[in-house]
Amino acid sequence: MTASNEEKWINKKISRREMLKLTGMGVAGIAIGASGFGGVMKAMGYDVFETVEDSTTAKNKVNFYGKHQSGISTPVQKNIYFASLTVLVTSKEELQALFKKWTPLMVRLMNGELMVDLTTNTRVPTGDTGEAEGLNASNLSITVGVGPSLFDKLGMAHLKPAELADLPHFPKDQLQKEYTGGDLCIQACADDPQVAFHAVRNLVRAASGKVEIKWSQAGFNSFPAEGGTPRNLFAFKDGTVNPSIKDEQDLNKVVWVDKGWLKGGSYLVARKVQMHLETWDRTSLKDQEATFGRHRDSGAPLGKTKEFDDFDIEEKDSKGEYIMPDTSHVHLARKSGARILRRSYSYASGVMSNTGAHDAGLIFISFQKDPAQFITVQNSLGRLDKMNEYITHRGSAVFACFPGVQKGSYLGEALFNAL
Ligand code: HEM
C-alpha cells in the first residue's frame, strides 16, 4: 500500500472503544431518525474502517488474513452457501467503500463473533441477524470474487484481465439465466450450514442498497466418520484426484494467478449441474462404473483396488479394450492434460416443478490460475462424456477472486490501487 493511501483511511480508523461510544450515540440517534438497517449500520460506525484481528482463541477457526483468500486452499468444509450478486452501486468509489466495510465484518464472521456488538435497544433492528449465536466459527471461510460484467458497469474495463470473460457455450449446456453470471460472488463454506448462510446473509444485509443477490445455492459434503473423500449424489467418491492444498509450489502452477492486480488470487468457475438421479438409479452398477471409470465402493480406478492407485488411461485389457473406457468421465478429464482444483458440493433443492424429478446435483466449483484450464477440461468432456446421459448444466459463472488481505489492508485493495 502506498503511504498516501494508507493515510487516507488510517485517518478514518477508529478504536474499538471509540466505536462502542459511537454505537451508543448511534443507537440513540436511530431511535429518533433512521428507519432502515443501512441507517443503523452507518450510525454504528461501519462506514469507517475498523481493523479486526484474527482471533487466536476461537475454536474451529480459519484465518482471514494471509497471502490468499480463505476458501480456496482451505480444507473442504461440509457446507457451502454460494451467492452471485448484482451490484447496484454506480461508481468504483462506492464499491471500494463497500469492500472496506466488508473487511472487518468478514474477520468477525470468521472469528465466530457477532457482526457488531449486541445492542440492548429493542426498538431498532439488531446489528447481527443472530442465527449463528452460540455456534462457533465452524471453519467458516469467505471468498469474494468479481465477475466480468462488473468492470464495464463501473468504468473499469481497462482493468479487466483478458482471462476474465464469460465462459463459452459448451455443446450440452442448457443454462438458465437465473443461475448464470454475476458481478460479484461470495462463497461461504463452513462445517455448519447455518454459519455459512449467516455469513452471506449478513454481508448482503450490510450492503443493503449496494448489492442484491442474483442467484444462490446451498450445498453439502458428507465425510465418512473415519475421514476420507466424500461421495456425490451418484454415490461415487468425488475429489480424489486434485492438487494437494499443502503443495504451494504446485498450487502456484495450477491455482494462483502470478501477475497484475490479481496476483495471489485465483479464478473461480461455478457450474450448477443437475444430476438426473432417477435415470442414474435405473442404471446397472457396471454401467455406472463405466461412466466414471472408477469402482463405486472403493473409488479405485477400474482395474485397480485402491482409491489413490495410479492409473494410465491408455492401458488396455487382453482384448485390446481400454480398461478405463474412453468415454468415461475420468478418462476424458485426464486426457485433456489440464489441471484444476475442484471444490464442489452436492445440492438437493426440492423437485423440478415441470417433471417432479429431484432438483439435485452438484454445485461444481473449481479454482485455476486461468479459466482456460477449466475450458480445456470441459471441452474434452464435450459430447463424449458418458456422464452427459445423467446430467444437465443449468448454471454458470466465472469470477476473479482477490488475493488475500494483509493486516491493515482491505479486500480488493490491489484492484483499487491499480486504478
Ligand atoms: C455433476 C457433475 C460432475 C460429477 C458428478 C463429477 C464427478 C467426478 C468423479 C466421481 C470423479 C472421480 C473421482 C475424483 O477424482 O474426484 C471426477 C473426476 C474429475 N472430474 Fe468430475 N464431475 C462432474 C463434473 C465435472 C466438470 C464440469 C469438470 C470440469 C470441466 C470435472 C473435472 C474433473 C476432473 C479434472 C477429474 C479428475 C480426473 C483425473 O483423474 O485426472 N468434473 N469427477
Q: In which band, very low, low, confident or very high, does the pLDDT at 116 lie, cut at 50, 70 and 90?
A: confident
Please state which of the ranges 18-27, 70-79, 174-183 shows the lowest mean pLDDT: 18-27
Instruction: Return phi, psi of residue 133, to 5°.
Output: -60, 135
Please, are residues 241 and 347 in contact by the beta-carbon 8 Å criterion?
Answer: no
User: pLDDT per residue over 282-334, tens digit each?
Assistant: 999 999 999 999 999 999 999 999 999 999 999 999 999 999 999 999 999 99
Mean pLDDT of 46-75: 90
- Cα 58 to averaged position of ligand 1 atoms, centre (Å): 35
Bigger pLDDT: 253 or 172?
Answer: 253
Question: In this predicted structure, what is the pLDDT of residue 35?
Answer: 36
* Domain limits, the chain: 1-50, 277-397
- Cα 137 to averaged position of ligand 1 atoms, centre (Å): 30
User: pLDDT per residue over 223-281, tens digit each?
Assistant: 999 999 999 999 999 999 999 999 999 999 999 999 999 999 999 999 999 999 999 99
Q: In which band, very low, low, confident or very high, does the pLDDT at 376 lie, cut at 50, 70 and 90?
A: very high
Question: In this predicted structure, what is the pLDDT of residue 2?
Answer: 35
User: pLDDT per residue over 64-104, tens digit each?
Assistant: 999 999 999 999 999 999 999 999 999 999 999 999 999 99
Q: Whose CA is nearest to atom 9 of ligand 1?
A: 238
Mean pLDDT of 102-123: 88
- Cα 291 to averaged position of ligand 1 atoms, centre (Å): 11
- Cα 330 to averaged position of ligand 1 atoms, centre (Å): 6
- Cα 340 to averaged position of ligand 1 atoms, centre (Å): 10
- Does the pLDDT of residue 217 top 50, yes or no? yes
State which ligand 1 atom lies nearest to the alpha carbon of 273: 1
Mean pLDDT of 163-175: 96
Q: Whose CA is nearest to atom 16 of ligand 1?
A: 239
Q: Whose CA is nearest to atom 10 of ligand 1?
A: 238
- Cα 242 to averaged position of ligand 1 atoms, centre (Å): 10
Report the distance separating Cα 161 and Cα 146, nearest Å. Answer: 11
Mean pLDDT of 53-63: 97
The proportion of the chain whose per-residue pLDDT surpasses 90, expressed as a percent, equals: 84
Average pLDDT, the chain: 90
Mean pLDDT of 189-205: 98
Q: Which three cell numbers stand for residue 195?
A: 454459519
- Cα 184 to averaged position of ligand 1 atoms, centre (Å): 26
Question: In this predicted structure, what is the pLDDT of residue 101?
Answer: 95
Question: In this predicted structure, what is the pLDDT of residue 62?
Answer: 98
Report the distance separating Cα 221 and Cα 333, nearest Å. Answer: 22
- Cα 262 to averaged position of ligand 1 atoms, centre (Å): 27
The proportion of the chain whose per-residue pLDDT surpasses 70, expressed as a percent, equals: 88
Q: In which band, very low, low, confident or very high, does the pLDDT at 49 lie, cut at 50, 70 and 90?
A: low
- Does the pLDDT of residue 40 top 90, yes or no? no
Pocket of ligand 1 (CB under 6 A): 232, 234, 236-241, 271, 273, 275, 292, 294, 329-330, 333-334, 340, 361-362, 364, 374, 377-378, 381, 391
Report the distance separating Cα 37 and Cα 290, nearest Å. Answer: 54
Q: In which band, very low, low, confident or very high, does the pLDDT at 43 lie, cut at 50, 70 and 90?
A: low
Interior/surface letters 14-34, b for 16+ CB within 10 angstroms, e for the rest = eeeeebeebbeebbeebeeeb
Q: Give, for ligand 1, the residue of 172, 302, 329, 331 to mutate: max count of ligand atoms closer than 8 Å to Cβ.
A: 329
Name the residue with cell 467418491. Answer: 237
Those residues whose C-beta lies under 8 Å from the C-beta of residue 397, and which sit 6 or more positions away, are: 84, 147, 180, 181, 182, 185, 269, 270
Q: Give, for ligand 1, the residue of 167, 233, 241 to mutate: max count of ligand atoms closer than 8 Å to Cβ.
A: 241
Q: Give, for ligand 1, the residue of 311, 342, 365, 392 to mutate: max count of ligand atoms closer than 8 Å to Cβ.
A: 342
Residue 400 sits at the vertex; the CA angle it makes with 62 and 381, to the nearest 5 degrees, is 100
Question: In this predicted structure, what is the pLDDT of residue 122?
Answer: 85
Residue 314 sits at the vertex; the CA angle it makes with 308 and 318, to the nearest 5 degrees, is 100
